Amino acid sequence: MPKLRLPIPFGAAALAVAFAALLPHVAAQAQENDTLAKIKASGAITFGYRESSFGFSYLDGNLKPVGYSIEICNRIVEAVKTELKLPAIEIKYQAVTSANRIPLVQNGTVDIECGSTTNLVERQKQVAFSPDIFRYNVRMLVKADSGIRSIADLQGKTVATTTGTTSFRLLREADKGRNLEVNNLGGKDHSDSFLLVESGRAQAFVLDDILLAGQIANARNPKDFIITGESLRTENQSLMFRKDDPAFKALVDRVVSGMMKSGEMEKLYNKWFMSPIPPKGININYPLNAETKEAFANPSSKGI
For residue 91, the domain's CATH number is: 3.40.190.10
| CA 111-293-172 angle, 5° bins | 70
85 and 142 within one domain: no
Q: Does a structural domain hold residue 221?
A: yes
169 and 250 co-located in one domain: no
Among residues 148, 149, 151, the alpha carbon closest in space to that of 167 is found at 151
Amino acid 222: pLDDT:
96
Identify the domain containing residue 154 by its residue range. 137-234
Residue 40 lies in a domain: yes
Chain centroid, CA 257 distance in Å:
17
- Give the Cα separation of 69 and 210 in Å (integer): 13
Of 190, 216, 234, which one is at a domain's C-terminal end? 234
Confidence (pLDDT) at 12: 47
Domain-ending residue, one of 234, 252, 268: 234
Q: Which of 164, 150, 172, 137 is nearest to 289 (CA)?
A: 137
Query: Could you give the 3-state DSSP secondary structure of residue 199?
Result: coil
Q: Is residue 15 part of a domain?
A: no
In a domain, 9, yes or no: no
**In a shared domain, residues 162 and 246:** no
**What are the start-end ranges of the E strands in 55-126?**
57-59, 65-66, 90-95, 112-118
Specify whether 131 is located in the same domain as 37: yes
Strand partners, 234: 137
What confidence score (pLDDT) does residue 32 get?
A: 62
Q: Are 69 and 114 in contact (CB under 8 A)?
A: yes
Q: How far apart are CA 145 and CA 129, in angstroms?
A: 39
| Number of domains composing the chain | 2
Residue closest to 182 by CA, chosen among 158, 207, 148: 158
Contact criterion met (CB below 8 Å) for 86 and 98: no
Do residues 64 and 189 both lie within one domain? no
Helix, strand or coil for residue 89?
Answer: coil
pLDDT number for residue 176: 73
User: What parts of the chain have a pLDDT lower than 70?
Assistant: 1-32, 177
Over the stretch 91-123, which tens digit does the pLDDT of each residue have?
Answer: 999 999 999 999 999 999 999 999 999 999 999
Instruction: In whole angstroms, give the CA distance from residue 272 to residue 260.
Output: 16
**241 and 103, same structural domain?**
yes
pLDDT of residue 175: 80
* Distance, CA of 304 to CA of 118 (rounded, Å): 9
Answer with the one of 234, 252, 281 that is the final residue of a domain.
234
Q: How many Å apart are CA 91 and CA 28, to the nearest integer?
A: 24
On whether residue 218 sits in a domain, the answer given is: yes
Query: Are residues 129 and 38 both part of a single domain?
Result: yes
CA 99 – CA 63 distance, rounded (Å)? 22
d(C-alpha 105, C-alpha 49), whole Å: 12
From its phi and psi, is residue 106 left (phi > 0), alpha (psi between -120 and 50) or beta? alpha
**206 within a domain of the structure (yes/no):** yes
The neighbour count for residue 75, using CB atoms within 10 Å, is: 17
Do 235 and 136 meet the contact criterion of CB atoms below 8 Å apart? yes
pLDDT score of 24: 43
Same domain for 130 and 240, yes or no, is: yes
